[in-house]
Amino acid sequence: MFRLNTVQKIIIFSILILWAIANIFPLGVMVISGFKSTREIFLAPFSLPSKWSFDSYKEAWTVANFSVYFKNSIIVTLVSITFTLFISSMAAYVLARFEFPGRRAIYLFILAGLVLPVRLAILPIFLLIRNMGLNNTLFSLFIVYTAGGISFSTFLLTNFFKTIPMDIEDAARIDGASYFRVYWKIHLPLLRPALATVTVFNFIRVWNDFFFPLIFINDNAKKTIPLGIQNFFGEYAIKWDLLFAGLNIAVIPIIIFFIILSKQFIGGLTEGAIK
């Protein structure tokens, strides 16, 4: 078994500490700047605020219409994740548990979504959304985000489904449970770590996306947070205090969501590493 000596441990921990500081420092500056005025941000960008004020948050939330952007992001993210989990988990169950002609071809077709970036097909996607009459609606984002998350989610969940012993499913089938009941009542509870991993990845992907709302959304009342933040960039000046306040508001749900699912998320990553 490989063991590290004291010097090697000091070097590794020093590198990890520097790496942590390099990642945490910008986040700390962003949080602190949200409590400053624009003038103080430029005069003392790295110091603590002379007076802790929530005026920037209040103005960003109400005057800058950030409450609407926040609500839209919550709706789009939760609906997209729900559809993604439901569709990908059912697809993964079928691909992992059933043998039928074309199964491997379907699986490879789904995995192709991991290789080909969805942004390369933005023109046909835009034309499809427009022809369906869904342009400038939140439904367009539901469809795009759900379709974009199915490949990775199905790939991950299929491998986890294969690790569940068939004896559990056979016992349930003998007791009269249907295939859907086995999937819903037995497999999904056993896949909570994997589902948490998929949820976290998709949450961050959808919540932070700027590209698709920029393409499909024109109405200010339907913008999401990444798209709404650009309103703080004026033609001749940038409202830095409102910008940092908006960024802090945008980060809060991600932190809360990760804390809630962190145990299951880490468990899913660990199980995946062991497998």
pLDDT in tens, 95-109: 998 888 988 999 999
Domains and CATH numbers, the chain: 63-274 (1.10.3720.10)
Residue at 226: amino acid letter: P
What does the pLDDT average to over 124-152?
Answer: 92
Q: Which position has the token pair 């749900």?
A: 253
> Which pLDDT value is given to residue 273?
42
> pLDDT at position 153, please?
92
Residues 98 and 158 sit within 8 Å (Cβ to Cβ): no
pLDDT of residue 274: 44
Q: 231 to each of 65, 129, 243, how far by Cα in Å?
A: 10, 25, 9
Note the pLDDT tens digit of each residue in 176-191: 888 888 888 888 888 8
> Is the sign of the CA dihedral 93, 98, 104, 109 positive or negative?
negative
Confidence of residue 227 (pLDDT cuts 50, 70, 90): confident
Confidence category of residue 272, pLDDT binned at 50, 70, 90: very low
Sequence-distant (6+) residues with CB within 8 A of 207 are 73, 77, 225, 250, 253, 254
Residue carrying structure tokens 């490989």: 2
- 212 CB-near residues (< 8 Å, 6+ apart): 140, 141, 144, 145
Its sign, for the CA torsion 94, 100, 106, 111, is positive
Both tokens of 152, joined, read: 């990775």
pLDDT at 2: 60
User: Token digits for 45?
Assistant: 């960008």
The pLDDT confidence band at residue 237, using thresholds 50, 70 and 90, is: low
From the list 227, 232, 226, 229, the residue with the least C-alpha distance to 208 is 226
The phi-psi region of residue 26 (left if phi > 0; otherwise alpha if psi is between -120 and 50; otherwise beta) is alpha
Pick the most confident of 143-157, 185-199, 219-233.
143-157
pLDDT value at residue 212? 93
Is residue 145 predicted with pLDDT exceeding 90? yes
